[in-house]
Each structure stands twice: as C-alpha cells, then as structure tokens.
Structure 1
Amino acid sequence: MRTFLQLVFGLLVLKAVSASPRFSRQVDYDSYDAVDYNEGEDNFDLNNYDYEEELRVEEAETDAEKPEYNYPEPGEVEKKEEEEEEEELPLKPQLVPQGSGGSGVLMGPDTEKGLPVCLLCTCLGGSVYCDDLKLDSVPPLPKDTTHFYARYNRITKISKSDFANMNKLKKIDLTANEITSIEDRTFMGLPELEELIIRENHISQLPTLPETMTLIDASHNDIGSKGIHKEAFKDMTGLQFLYLTDNNIDYVPVPLPDSLRSLHLQGNNIQMMHEDTFCNLNDFNYIRNALEDIRLDGNPINLSKTPQAYVCLPRIPIGNLI
C-alpha cells in the first residue's frame, strides 16, 4: 500500500513539471544597436578577420621588444673566473734600488746573514727597524731610508761605508750596542741628518757631525775630556737637544748655539764653570730664552760659586748649590 502511494505522488509531480513554461537562455540581439565596424580609418571586418595572422604580428612585435642576451660559449665562464682570480692576486714585489754597501735584490739589499734587509728587518715607508736581531754590523740599507733603528744589537764599529750615499737619512738610533769606535766624518756625508742617538755604548770619541743636527744623544758612553772636538756644536744653528749624561766629561762643551733648549750633563766630572759659559758678559741685556733645561747634578761642581753664569737664563741649572 505504501509503495502504491509513493508511485501516485511521483506521477503527480512529473505532470506538474511538464506543464510549467520552459526557461529560455536565448539572447535578443534585436535589442542591441547595430555597430558599423566598417566606418572610420580602422576598418574592422569580422568576415575577413584573420586571427592567425594577428597572432603572428603580435609574436613578431613581442620578439622585437625582448632584450638580446649574449650567452657565453662553453668554457668562457671558467676563463672569466680565472682572469678575476688573477686580478685579485697581490702585486709582485719589486726590486729596491741599491743601498749603501749592497746590491739591489728582492725587497732590499742582502745583509751579512744572506737575507734581504727588509725581510730580516721591518721596513715601513722610509723607516727600517732592525732592533734586537743580534747584528754585528750595520746592514746595507735601501737608498730611500729616512729613519734607521738598530737598537739592542751587537754592533761594534761604525764605518764611513755604512751610511754612504744615504741622502735622505734623517735619524739614526743605535742605542744599546757594543760600539767602541765611529770612524770620523762618517756622518758628514748625510745632508738631511738631524738626530743621532748612540747612547749606551762604549764610545770614547764623539764623531764630527753635520750642522743640520737638532738632537744628539751620546749618554752612557766613555767620552772623556778629549772626546769632543773643539767648538763641536758652534755652527749647529738648529740644535735643540744635547744629551751627554754619564760620561767622563770635565767641562761644559762651549760655545753652545742659541737654539739649544735642553742640555743634560749630569753624572760627569765637571768641577768648574766660567761666567760666560751661557751668558755674554759684554752684553748684560742678552737673554737666552730657549735654554730652559740644564742638568748638572751628579757633578763635583758648586753652582753657587758662579752666579753670573746664569743671569741670562730663564731657569737656574739643576745641581749642587752648596
């Protein structure tokens, strides 16, 4: 019975659907205004339109706009990388011009140890540092050396050839070696020399020095009463610092240039001083303004016995006043 009722209900639904009007998706083209595509400069004919030809034109225009890429040939990439690596390699060291006493080789003249001086020592610009290398003599230097340091070595003698033709050399520092002698006029051929430091050696004779000197330090040596040339510093118009501490000097090495600022003579054997050692007794208006630092302590001299010797100085020398 139930099945029969379902069958009757289905027949009624089917009949209702068949009787309803059908939905139409047809478009009424008559409601649109006709467009004349044949008017104007660009005639557009749908009947004669060639779609494939339009595609070919667009592809040609697109290809024309594409940038051209030049792809490397096989092997060119590896070659380019090798060239870049070669450009990044450090520069090859060049020959340094021949210095005094040696032949120009890689990075500088050969030393007595068979090594180029700038490999044995340290070269920075025009400065050559050969400190504490147990050297027995001055190594041959590049010609453009301006400052030479060879402190704390075993150098025993200085010869003329050690600094021959060193026209740019301004400073020599030979502190704490074993130098016993310096050949006279060794430094006279150095037109730019300004500073000589030979302290803590065994030198008994101070060599003749050029007039260009500004600093001389020969402290802690064996320089005696005859170890300084007469009027050795007179013509050094630019000399500012003279250090002769701890030697065997028994007098103040006059005359001293007006440019002198500091004079250290402590620890010597100076027993007396003349009144015109620093001042000019014929000109009481003379004032030596530059010389502000005089050290005479450690000498067997009584400074109070010669008060006229200091009237032209801005400061009294340091030393025994009793």
Structure 2
Amino acid sequence: MRMLVRLILGLFVLKAVVASPRFSRQADLDSYDSANYDVDLDNSNLENQDIYDYEEGLTIDDPQIEIGTLAPPDYNYPVPEASIEEQEEEEAEEEEMPLKPQLVPQGSGGSGVLMGPDTQKDMPTCLLCTCLGGSVYCDDLKLDSVPPLPKDTTHFYARYNRITKINKSDFANMNKLKRIDLTANEIKSIDDRAFMGMPQLEELVIRENHISQLPALPETMSLIDASHNNIGTKGIHREAFKDMTSLLYLYLTDNNVDYIPVPLPDSLRSLHLQRNNIQMMHEDTFCNLKDFNYIRNALEDIRLDGNPINLSRTPQAYVCLPRIPIGDLI
C-alpha cells in the first residue's frame, strides 16, 4: 500500500517538473541549437555580438542597472553671430557716440582741454607724453621746447630731446612742481628767473647741455646737477647757494668753473667739481677760522680731482671736515 502511494506521488512530482517554464525553455533552446547548429556564425547579427560583449563583462556581484530613457542635460544653444554688416553698423554707432569730456587741469602754456593742453605738435601733452599721477614723462620725443604741463604736475622729465631754450613762461605758476630733469638736450640759454616761480621745486637736473649761465634758483633746492655744460667764471651768481638751507647735492662736474662757489650751506653733503679749472682755495672755504670748534659733519664727499689745484698747500682748509677732498696733493 505504501509503495503504491509513493509511486503516485512520484508521478505527480515528475509531471510538475516537466510542466515548469524553465524546463520547457531549456527544451526549446536545445531544439533550437540542434536545428541551427550549421548556421555560419560570421553572418550573425552584429548587434547580438555587442550585447554579448557587454553582458560578458558583468559578474554576479555587479549591481543590476535599470536601463531607461534619461533626460537630456541642460544645453545652452549658441546664439547666432551677427553678420559682418551688423557688426560694422554697431561699431559705427559706438564711434558716433559723444565722449564724456574729462578736463585735465589747465597747463602752464594754455587752457585745459581733454588730456592736457595742446603741444607744438598739435597733440595734448598727456597723449604725446606719458602722464602717471603727477609725473609727466616726455623723454626722447624730439621736442624743441618745453610742452605745456598740467597744473598738478609734480615731476617733469624731458630727457634726450632737442630743447634749445628755457623761457620764463615754460614753468610759470607751476606751484606743485618738485623735480625737473632736462638731461641731454641742446639748451644754450635759460631765462634768469625761469625757475623762481615754483615754491616747491627741490631738484633740477640740466646736465649734458650747452649752458653757460646757471640761473637763479629758489631756496628750496636739495639737488642741483649742472654737470657737463659750459659754465665759466661768471656763470654762477654771487653767493648763489648761501640761503639754500636744504641743499644736499651740488654737481658741477665738467665745466669751466675756476673757483669754489662759496659760501656753501651747512646742509651740503656732496660737492662735485672735478674736471674744472680750479687753481686755488682759501683756508676758510669750508671751515670757520674764527671758531676752531666748528665741524662740518655733513660734507663727506668733495671731489676736486681733475683740477689744476694742489690740495697740500691749504692744509688748514680741511680741519673741520670729516674727510679730506679728493684731488692732487702734490
């Protein structure tokens, strides 16, 4: 009886296995493979090969990816460029727009206009030259005269030009000007009071010109460089530097000066007179013979080399100095 029951249960199990989808699918695949065994694999669909390669790279541990339709990323489509005609029209409209005038303060030689007053070349000073803050640079521009400067100019450089003369009007009413550098021009004459209208002028460099007469200078000077000129016996005013209580540097190298321009202020640090025509010096040129306690500590640099003077003849002239002047002692 038990054997009969087991037999009936086994038949039910076998029937259930045969009826399952997996079994039937495998049977279909077996029958399909046997029917298509002789098919040329080279003629198979390329798309099936791509799917096979992709699936072969997956492993059991790889997460299952749900394939779906993704939203396209945000994309800014380029705006079509304007045509050449439209671009030219826009440029023409920009050129026709009026500029907002920004007046530079009035210069020494004319009324204030955009970029400063016009120069001899019919160009504004700050267009012909370079203006940076209060500094105006006009170097190597073949200028024949000093250009009109903006009123707020503090430093003026016009080196390596062709300026032949400095007029009194060139720097009139330039109340903020502190430094003037006219190195290497062709200056032959300077109006005597050309620099006297500047209450803040401190430095004047007029080296490498053809000047024979040093003009009067304000008492505010701290540096005067008139080297490499033609300044002679009468080329310096009497007691020209006496009241310059802030004068530190006086350079008159390579001229025709035949004496030391005394009295010199106590503030002076450097005196360069090399290669002139100085033949003698007094014992009180630098020191005070009436006060042997007087010491001129500031004057540490005196150059007299290249002059026909024998420094050993006036030994008392150097007792108040921190250093003996440089020059011939024989």
TM-score range, shorter chain: 0.7 to 0.9
1:12-39 deviation per Cα after TM superposition (whole angstroms, max 9, x unaligned): 859xx9xxxxxxxxxxxxxxxxxxxxxx
CA distance in 1, matches of 2:222, 2:328: 28
> What is the Cα deviation at residue 106 of structure 1?
1.1
Q: Which residue of 1 aligns with 2:50?
A: none
Aligned pair partner of 2:167 in 159, 165, 175: 159
SS at match of 2:192: coil
Question: What amino acid is the match of 1:173?
Answer: D
Q: Which residue of 2 aligns with 1:52?
A: none
Q: Which residue of 2 aligns with 1:265?
A: 273
Question: What amino acid is the match of 1:312?
Answer: C
CA distance in 2, matches of 1:304, 1:94: 64
Q: Which residue of 2 aligns with 1:123?
A: 131
> What is the Cα deviation at residue 103 of structure 1?
2.1
Does 2:307 align with 1:299? yes
Q: TM-score, normalised by structure 1?
A: 0.72
Computed over aligned residues only, the root mean square deviation of the Cα atoms, in angstroms, reads 2.0
Question: What amino acid is the match of 2:155?
Answer: H
Aligned pair partner of 2:322 in 301, 304, 314: 314
Does 2:120 align with 1:112? yes
Does 2:213 align with 1:202? no
Question: What amino acid is the match of 1:130?
Answer: C
Q: Which residue of 2 aligns with 1:224?
A: 232
CA distance in 2, matches of 1:178, 1:276: 37
CA distance in 2, matches of 1:238, 1:128: 25
Q: Which residue of 1 aligns with 2:38?
A: none
CA distance in 1, matches of 2:214, 2:105: 31
Does 2:224 align with 1:248? no
SS at match of 1:309: helix
Aligned pair partner of 1:138 in 128, 146, 154: 146
CA distance in 1, matches of 2:205, 2:127: 24
SS at match of 1:118: helix
5+ residue gaps in structure 1?
1-8, 18-85
SS at match of 2:317: helix
Does 2:190 align with 1:182? yes
5+ residue gaps in structure 2?
1-7, 17-93
Question: What amino acid is the match of 1:182?
Answer: I
Aligned pair partner of 1:280 in 274, 288, 294: 288
CA distance in 2, matches of 1:214, 1:206: 16
Question: What amino acid is the match of 1:133?
Answer: L
Question: What amino acid is the match of 1:122?
Answer: T
> What is the Cα deviation at residue 227 of structure 1?
0.3
Q: Is the 8 A contact 1:93 1:107 kept in 2?
A: no
Q: Which residue of 2 aligns with 1:28?
A: none
> What is the Cα deviation at residue 242 of structure 1?
0.1
Does 2:184 align with 1:170? no
Aligned pair partner of 1:94 in 95, 102, 118: 102
CA distance in 1, matches of 2:293, 2:261: 23
Q: Which residue of 2 aligns with 1:103?
A: 111
**Identity score, percent:** 87
Runs of 4+ in 1 over 3 A off after TM superposition: none
CA distance in 2, matches of 1:287, 1:13: 135
Q: Is the 8 A contact 1:156 1:178 kept in 2?
A: yes
Q: TM-score, normalised by structure 2?
A: 0.70
CA distance in 1, matches of 2:118, 2:297: 48
> What is the Cα deviation at residue 102 of structure 1?
1.7
